[in-house]
Amino acid sequence: MTGAEPKVTLDLAKAHGLTAEEYDRIIQLLGREPTYTELGLFSALWSEHCAYKHSKVFLRQFPTKAPHVLQGPGENAGIVDLGDGLALVLKMESHNHPSFIEPFQGAATGVGGILRDIFTMGARPVATLDSLRFGDPEDPKTRYLIGGVVSGISWYNNCFGVPNVGGEVAFAPEYRGNPLVNVMCVGLVRKDRIFRARAEGVGNPVLYVGAKTGRDGIHGATMASAVFEEGAEERRPTVQVGDPFTEKLLLEACLEAMATGAVVGIQDMGAAGLACCSAEMPSRAGTGMEVELSRVPLRETGMTPYEIMLSESQERMLLVVVRGREGEVRKVFAKWDLEAVEVGRVTDDGELRVRMDGQLVAQVPVRALTDEAPVYEKPTARPAWLDELHAFDPLDLPPPADYEQALLAILAAPTVASKQWVYRQYDHQVGINTLVLPGSDGGVLRIKGTRKAIALTTDGNARSVLLDPYQGGALAVAEAARNLACSGARPLAVTDCLNFGSPERPEILWQFSEAVRGISEACRRLEIPVVSGNVSFYNETEGQVILPTPIIGMAGLLEDAGWRTTQWFKGPGDRIALIGPEAVSLGGSEYLATCGRRVAGRLAPLDLTLEREVQAACRAAIEAGLVASAHDCAEGGVATALAEACMSGPGEIGADVALPSVGRLDLTLFGEGPSRIVVSIPPMAQRHFEGLMQEWQVPWRFIGTVGGDRFTLRVRGEVVVNLPVERIAHAWRTGFERYVA
Amino acid sequence: MRFGVVIFPGTWSDCDFHFVIGEVLHQPVKYVWHRDTDLSEYDCVILPGGFSYGDYLRAGAIAGRSPVVEALGDFLAGGGFVLGSCNGFQILCEAKLLPGALLRNECLQYRCQSTFLFVENAETPFTRGLRPGQVLKMPISHGEGKYYGDAETLRILRGRNQIVFRYCTEAGEITKEANPNGSVENIAGIMNEEGTVLGLMPHPERAAESALGGTDGLLLFHSLIGSLIEDGSFLKR
């Protein structure tokens, strides 16, 4: 072993984010003190980011199996069968910490990382979506972060050439020092052309392909596994720098190389770079690997083995290819002006051996880095302050003096208002598949060569999760599935991004465990498997923890692309119906947050059986061709959903609606509850629709008619809102833009 | 009519053009690699959208000096047509096959949105199936689409009727509000003096199927195919 490296001590191990117990365990596994490079390997692979050590025991609850699941969690991405010999690859990932330190590159490389996760499976990425969370929009720092994050996503996404078809942006002061950037990507692959990250075949060469390795991003995975103290921005050098052009070349070259049949296994060098690939790939295959670092293409001089192994330079992949066919693969990469260098080979002894100029610098059993990583079941504790939040009754507050003003305030709230400023900066049409553009409940893309289409959505309401993590987690799944039902799709699979504070705090871990329990229960009851995902802990800066924010990404299938449905009203004279239960609450509502400036109270109950039936009934009506528009009632309640249906389409149109009273007027208008969908039905289809709803036996009623240029809401025969559509549209269109333009 | 769709490293509208020409228009179409220089088997070469060579230096600057673009001079002299959309328009300006330049959008942001185009000149091989003043709907997707030409360039463009499309409102008014990127005189597309090279920032291939929001983009292809059939030039080659 080399003598030039620093002496490894317990203090050094602690500085690497390892505990004393973990350091002892390393010594026990190796039977000796680790070298400096080995310490680096353990610190990266045993980080929360790579090892899921605090979350693993909880994540086991997720239902991950179903007949159509071709690949569940544990690979770079999940895969589900679409029929017709095609499969859909999906994954969502966070890039929160880097995006706070350097918003442009942090968000851009978040997109880059998730794209590689998809095409490393052999799929061509066909769409991305993004869920973003920021602090108070009044704060100038927030404006800076939004600008940087959105332009970073826009730059990487557009240059690479993948359409961004949806997402969401929400605001709360708790995200001030810790914004969230979650990006989802889906890709299409032929079922017989799926690739996995496995180092099979003893003696097969290991090829390094793509960009050169530099010092950027060293310890990115470790950084993402700790809370931020003051001066976090000084960690800018741990943020990677992206190059979407190289990524585009890497995509084309990888897919072309895979088509030769010479590729055995492939993995993206993302978090923890070469260290992660050279341990995980043999670990999955039950093999070992040897690498010679002097052969790794470098863009800086004097890099140590430690730095080369831990670099998170972007746009790189590690390939295992069939011995004797290296030339074919190298030729493809040369065509795309990319490096493809043999850096090692697959061995049979289960060891990872790392050499520099022939000299051994690390030798570790691959299972010690992967399967033997510590797994914790740390204590959880229900926070005492929850009782106080639950004790608050929003109906103790006086009702608003003016319901029209309250509605306009909600529509102009940055979380509800139009996000056109964001998505018009993203290419959403490249690939010419996008049937439903951003701005509806779900993005819809056709699958060329078939009658089918896929629908995609991301959802998460952190206020609900804060007040009731179990139900909040379940609600996120229910809402995502409802969005897909409104688009005409049957849900296929979930990918998730679980953003929380430090799991070492019992109250945070309780939120996490409850949310996971809720997500699991909803996925089981709605029969939607979880096939991939990501956990992001330690979202805390200077003691301020974020709201518990599980984001659910969901993909669904439309057997007939013609079923696709959008959320906005279409024709004057169409009847408006509300499908779903009456139970709503102002607890945790947008109305309470916007007009009452607080997040408290109790949520309306969720009945997953009813949820399932409402979604099925909506889908049945859509498939029968009876529905002109369908929109989920979410933040801001039924009044907001109706207003959105009037103004979010290509043209504005009015509506006259009599809402069934459920108590106080503010509760009737703005109360939020699950399983509720607003649909519009052309007069010709009315009878048929009535019959169908009776058959499904779900609660529903006609509540109004589309038409005119005014938005009118009546309750108990009294007009409570009567505004020109133009006026509500103006509030909604400018509500977010006023902070960023 | 035989189409060739050029692939530069970083091009992404190549597959979209290929699909529309092959599957919607049912015309023969092949990909052309950026190092190819023999274009003799094509009637029309398409330079698609994307970020050729990463758009490093300037958008289209490196592609404008690539082997395939250098071969376009001979291809045009032999009676060929060239259509450049988005990055293709930027490349044609960089290669001096069209006058002027495309600068960063005035809003300093990328823009992906629907636009309306006023047909200024309906007597080109690309637009002869249209009416002067007709309004087309076509999407844009670019960060550097602000057309710029100096006073002399604009005078020549106007004098020779080389301005083909201007951004307009749905009703056909050429206003500042209808201009998505700050282009001088709302210019969205221009041609060379001979009418054999058309460059435009909007994407005709994204407006070629009603399921995707419109078919106005097809009108350009129909015009071009019609032109070639009528003057018999495609039979001669």
Q: What are the angstrom distances between the C-alpha of B91 and each of B21, B102, B110?
A: 21, 10, 18
Hey, which CATH number is domain B3-236, 3.40.430.10, 1.20.1440.230, 1.10.10.10, 3.40.50.880?
3.40.50.880
- Bridge-based pairing of strands A700-706 and A575-579 is antiparallel
Find the CB nearest A428 among B112, B203, B208. B112
pLDDT single digits (tens) B180-191: 999 999 999 999
pLDDT of residue B114: 96
Residue positions of B annotated with a catalytic role: 86, 203, 205
Cβ within 8 Å of A, B 203-232: 203, 205-206, 208-209, 211-212
| Chain mean pLDDT for chain B | 95
Query: Is residue B100 within 8 Å of residue B199, measured between CB atoms?
Result: no
Cα(A519)–Cα(A477) distance, integer angstroms: 6
Query: Is residue B87 within 8 Å of residue B47, measured between CB atoms?
Result: yes
Tell me the chain A residues in contact with residue B112 when contact means C-beta distances shorter than 8 Å.
158, 423-429
Tell me the chain A residues in contact with residue B206 when contact means C-beta distances shorter than 8 Å.
429, 432
CA distance A40 to chain B (A): 34
Tell me the chain B residues in contact with residue A248 when contact means C-beta distances shorter than 8 Å.
9-10, 12, 51
* CB burial string B41-50: b at 16+ within 10 A, e below: ebbbbbbbbb
Q: Tell me, what amino acid is at B53?
A: Y
* Interchain proximity B110–A448, CB inside 8 Å: no
User: Which portions of chain A are predicted below pLDDT 50?
Assistant: 1-3
* Interchain proximity A424–B209, CB inside 8 Å: no
Interface test with B, best of A430, A437, A566 (most B CBs within 10 A): A430
Q: Quick one: pLDDT band at residue B233, thresholds 50, 70, 90?
A: low
Q: Which of A16, A49, A97, A428 is catalytic?
A: A49
Q: Please name every residue paired with A575 in a beta bridge, in sequence order, or none if there are none.
A: A681, A705
* CB burial string B103-131: b at 16+ within 10 A, e below: bbbeeebbbbebbbbbbbbbebbbbbbbe
CA distance A564 to chain B (A): 11
pLDDT of residue A225: 62
CA distance A77 to chain B (A): 24
Query: Considering chain B, what percentage of its residues have pLDDT values greater than 90?
Result: 94
Cα(A292)–Cα(A272) distance, integer angstroms: 17
Interface test with A, best of B52, B112, B144 (most A CBs within 10 A): B112
Task: Judge whether A16 counts as a catalytic residue.
Answer: no
Find the CB nearest B206 among A158, A248, A432. A432
**Residue A650 structure tokens:** 């290509």
Cα(A485)–Cα(A480) distance, integer angstroms: 9
pLDDT of residue A358: 96
Domain range annotation of chain B:
3-236
Tell me the chain A residues in contact with residue B12 when contact means C-beta distances shorter than 8 Å.
160-161, 248, 430
CA-nearest residue to A423 within chain B is B112
pLDDT of residue A217: 73
Q: What are the angstrom distances between the C-alpha of A719 and each of A655, A665, A713, A716, A722?
A: 13, 11, 6, 9, 7
Tell me what ipTM this predicted complex has: 0.95
CA-nearest residue to B211 within chain A is A435
pLDDT of residue A1: 42
pLDDT single digits (tens) B149-189: 999 999 999 999 999 999 999 999 999 999 999 999 999 99
Tell me the chain B residues in contact with residue A423 when contact means C-beta distances shorter than 8 Å.
112
* Interchain proximity B111–A336, CB inside 8 Å: no
Count of all residues that appear for chain B in the document: 237
pLDDT of residue A48: 87
CA distance B13 to chain A (A): 7
* Interchain proximity A427–B141, CB inside 8 Å: yes
CA-nearest residue to A154 within chain B is B110
pLDDT single digits (tens) A533-587: 999 999 999 889 999 999 999 999 999 999 999 999 999 999 999 999 999 999 9
Tell me the chain A residues in contact with residue B50 when contact means C-beta distances shorter than 8 Å.
161
Find the CB nearest B141 among A429, A448, A561. A429
Tell me the chain B residues in contact with residue A249 when contact means C-beta distances shorter than 8 Å.
9-10
**Pick from A263, A163, A161, A259: which is nearest to A209 by CA?**
A263
Q: Give one DSSP letter per residue of chain B, joined into a string.
A: --EEEEE-TTB-SHHHHHHIIIIIS---EEEEETT----TT-SEEEE-SB-GGGG-SSTTTTGGGSHHHHTHHHHHHTT-EEEEETHHHHHHHHTTSSSSEEE--TTSS-EEEEEEEEE----STTTTTS-TT-EEEEEEEESS-EEE--HHHHHHHHHTT-EEEEEE-TTS---STT-SS--GGGEEEEE-TTS-EEEESS-GGGSSBGGGTB-HHHHHHHHHHHHHHHH-HHHH-
* Interchain proximity A432–B212, CB inside 8 Å: yes
* Interchain proximity A336–B112, CB inside 8 Å: no
Tell me the chain A residues in contact with residue B19 when contact means C-beta distances shorter than 8 Å.
432, 448
Q: Quick one: pLDDT band at residue B127, thresholds 50, 70, 90?
A: very high
Query: Is residue A149 within 8 Å of residue A110, measured between CB atoms?
Result: no
pLDDT of residue A134: 97
CA-nearest residue to A444 within chain B is B212
Cα(A300)–Cα(A313) distance, integer angstroms: 12
CA-nearest residue to A165 within chain B is B112
Cβ within 8 Å of A, B 113-152: 113, 139, 141, 143
CA-nearest residue to B48 within chain A is A430
pLDDT of residue A741: 79
Cα(A256)–Cα(A246) distance, integer angstroms: 15
Helix, strand and coil percent figures for chain A, each rounded to 5:
40, 25, 35
Interface test with A, best of B11, B12, B90 (most A CBs within 10 A): B12
Q: Tell me, what amino acid is at A532?
A: S
Q: Which 3-state string (H, E, C) describes A690-722?
A: HHHHHHHCCCEEEEEEECCCEEEEEECCEEEEE
pLDDT of residue A322: 97
CA-nearest residue to A435 within chain B is B212
* Interchain proximity A245–B50, CB inside 8 Å: no
* Interchain proximity B110–A429, CB inside 8 Å: no
Find the CB nearest B19 among A159, A337, A432. A432
Q: Give one DSSP letter per residue of A586-633, joined into a string.
A: -TT-HHHHHHS----S-PPP--HHHHHHHHHHHHHHHHTT--SEEEE-
Cα(A613)–Cα(A615) distance, integer angstroms: 5
Query: Is residue A590 within 8 Å of residue A410, measured between CB atoms?
Result: yes
pTM: 0.95
pLDDT of residue B228: 76
Cα(A454)–Cα(A88) distance, integer angstroms: 9
Q: Cβ contacts of residue A305 below 8 Å, gap of 6+?
A: A2, A37, A293, A354, A356, A361, A362
Residue B66: how many other CB atoms lie within 10 Å:
20
Residues of chain A with a CB closer than 8 angstroms to some CB in chain B = 151, 154-155, 158-161, 243-246, 248-249, 336-337, 423-432, 434-435, 446, 448, 561
Q: Quick one: pLDDT band at residue B227, thresholds 50, 70, 90?
A: confident
Tell me the chain B residues in contact with residue A246 when contact means C-beta distances shorter than 8 Å.
54
Q: Which of A54, A95, A97, A219 is catalytic?
A: A95
Cα(A529)–Cα(A524) distance, integer angstroms: 7
Cα(A298)–Cα(B22) distance, integer angstroms: 43
